[in-house]
Amino acid sequence: MESKINNVMRKFDFKGQAGSLQYWEYKQVGQKKVLSLVGQPILSTQGQKGLKNYRKRSFNYTNASVGPDTEVDQEWLAGLAAQKRVPRQRTSRDPNQILGQLVVPVFSYQGADEKFVGVIELTTALPKTSYDEEFNQIQNLLKNENLTKPLENTIKVIYGDDIYKFQLPLPSGIADVWENMKMRNSEVNQKTFRLECEDGSGYLICISSDDDLRARIANSSTKAIYMFLKRGD
C-alpha cells in the first residue's frame, strides 16, 4: 500500500502551488477505527510556515475515532471524508479559510471485495475557488493504482407525483443535474423551473449554483440527495 501511495504523490503535479500531500491510514486500534499519520507518506513542495503548522496540528487527530456512526470534529476534513467515504474540499468561498483543502478517500480491492483504507489530503498555502482539477488528478492517479472507485451520488428529484432518479458522478455541477432532468422531462428548463432542497432545519432552499450543490452533498448524511422541482413564481 505504501508504495502505491508514494506513486500517487510522486506523480502529482502541484502546478506551481505551495502545498502538501499527506496520507491518513485507516486502521483498528483496540476497539475503535481511527485515522493515523504516523509513519505514513507525506510530500511538500516547500517549507511554508502555514503548511508546517497545519501538519503539526494534524497529529492532534491521530487515533481519533472515525466511521459512519461516529461523531467527528467538523473542522477535521479527513475525518469527515472517512466518516462518509466521499471527497470534500474547503475553498476561498468558505468563511475564515486560510489554507485550501481537498480530501479523497482511498480504497483497496480483492476481487469484488472493496475495503476503505485511508484518505489522501491535499493542503495548499492559499485557498482556491475550487479543487475540482486537483480532485480529478488525484482520482486518476488512484485509479492507476487500483485504489479508487467511480464516485457518484444518487439524485432524486420530486415533481408532483413523479420522482426522477439518476446517478451523478463526482465532481459534477448544477448544469449536470439540469441536463439529466431535461433527458427525463423535455419541458424542464432553468428559466421556468427551479430546484430546491430542505436544509438541516427543514426549510426549503434554492439550489442554483455549483456551490449550492456541493454544500448540499457535503451536508448530506447519505449518498442519496433529495430535491424538489418547482415552477418559478
Q: What is the pLDDT of residues 33-42, one digit of tens each?
A: 999 999 999 9
Residue range(s) defining the domain that contains residue 210: 152-231
Cβ atoms of 113 and 143 within 8 Å: the answer is no
The predicted structure's pLDDT at residue 180:
82
- Phi-psi sector, 118: left (phi>0), alpha (psi -120 to 50), beta: left
3 state DSSP class of 84: helix
Task: Identify whether the C-beta of residue 85 lies closer than 8 Å to the C-beta of residue 72.
Answer: no
Residue 171 has pLDDT above 70, yes or no: no
Kindly state whether residues 122 and 197 are assigned to the same domain: no
Single out the residue in 144, 172, 204 at which a domain terminates: 144
Domains: count for the chain: 2
Q: Which pLDDT band holds residue 149 (cuts at 50, 70, 90)?
A: low
- Assess whether 131 and 217 both reside in one domain: no
pLDDT in tens, 36-88: 999 999 999 877 889 999 999 999 998 889 976 788 898 999 998 898 787 88
- The pLDDT value given to residue 106: 93
Question: Among residues 95, 124, 144, which one ends one of the domains?
Answer: 144
Average pLDDT rounded to a whole number, residues 106-133: 88
3 state DSSP class of 33? strand
State the average pLDDT over residues 219-228.
76
